């Protein structure tokens, strides 16, 4: 995969279905990573305002929706307290405790896809855009992608919607 310039990056973000359902029902606009986790920081730092995060539900193994990034930053416990009401704590991505920090993504435009894309379908799209070896990477880790993949996913979603309407 070619190097992606900051601000042009997008991501496939693994989520728990419960987080997604709660985010739709409530006024959730903050996605928090587990406290003190460094592995994703190099990847998520590439995201900027306007980046798209494609949401991959790892319990369903489906691409279920997306949101637009407003801001990405590392926050300490005190800073997180002001954002806490806009976040939803789930599973391993617990909220930070005193003397802990975490990375967060502030977002808007949370949208559920009319029809989810299965893991196999998503892997075929990734293979089409980046080649077969890229499609073999685990989807339970945050992956930074470029505009080509986001556009291809949106095109596939439009085609699937069109085909569904043609059947009805």
CATH code, domain with 107 = 2.30.130.30
What does the pLDDT read at residue 91? 81
Two tokens, residue 79:
């800073």
Q: Which residue has the higher pLDDT, 40 or 76?
A: 76
H or E segment and range at residue 109:
strand 101-118
pLDDT at 148 over 50: yes
Which pLDDT score is estimated for 166? 66
pLDDT value at residue 51: 94
pLDDT per position as a tens digit, 77-90? 999 999 999 999 98
Q: Yes or no: say if 105 and 31 are a contact pair by the CB < 8 Å rule.
A: yes
Chain-centroid distance of CA 140 in Å reads 11
Q: Does residue 26 lie in a domain region?
A: yes
**In the predicted model, is pLDDT for residue 5 greater than 50?**
no
- Residue 93 forms beta bridges with which residues? 90
Q: Is residue 93 part of a domain?
A: yes
Cβ(68)–Cβ(50) below 8 Å:
yes
Q: Are strands 10-15 and 52-57 parallel, antiparallel or unpaired?
A: parallel
pTM across the whole model: 0.88
**Could you tell me what percentage of the chain is helix, strand and coil, using 3-state DSSP and rounding each to the nearest 5?**
35, 30, 35
118 within a domain of the structure (yes/no): yes
Higher pLDDT, 60 or 44: 60
Residue 51 lies in a domain: yes
Rounded to a whole number of angstroms, the CA Rg of the chain reads 16
Name the percent of the chain lying above pLDDT 70. Answer: 90
The number of distinct structural domains making up the chain is: 1
CA dist 100 and 41 (Å) reads 15
Pairing status of strand 143-145 against strand 10-15: antiparallel
What whole-number distance in Å separates Cα of residue 147 and Cα of residue 27?
28
Considering Cα of 4, then 19, then 94, then 106, what sign does the dihedral take? positive
Supply 36's token pair: 């003190």
What's the rounded Cα separation, in Å, for the pair 88 and 19? 7
Q: Which domain holds residue 80?
A: 10-167
Whether residue 27 lies inside any domain: the answer is yes
- Would you say residue 5 lies in a domain? no
pLDDT of residue 83: 96
């Amino acid at each position: 995969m070619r190097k992606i310039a900051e601000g042009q990056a997008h991501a496939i973000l693994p989520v728990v279905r419960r987080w997604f359902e709660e985010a739709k029902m409530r006024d959730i606009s903050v996605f928090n990573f587990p406290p003190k986790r460094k592995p994703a920081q190099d990847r998520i730092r590439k995201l900027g305002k306007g980046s798209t995060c494609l949401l991959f539900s790892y319990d369903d193994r489906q691409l279920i929706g997306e949101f637009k990034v407003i801001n990405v930053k590392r926050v300490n416990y005190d800073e997180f307290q002001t954002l806490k009401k806009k976040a939803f704590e789930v599973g391993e991505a617990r909220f930070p405790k005193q003397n802990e920090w975490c990375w967060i993504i502030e977002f808007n435009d949370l949208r559920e896809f009319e029809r989810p894309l299965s893991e196999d379908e998503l892997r075929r799209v990734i293979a089409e855009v980046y080649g077969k070896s890229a499609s073999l990477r685990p989807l339970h880790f945050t992956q930074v992608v470029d505009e080509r993949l986001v556009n291809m996913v949106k095109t596939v979603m439009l085609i699937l919607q069109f085909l569904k309407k043609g059947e009805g």
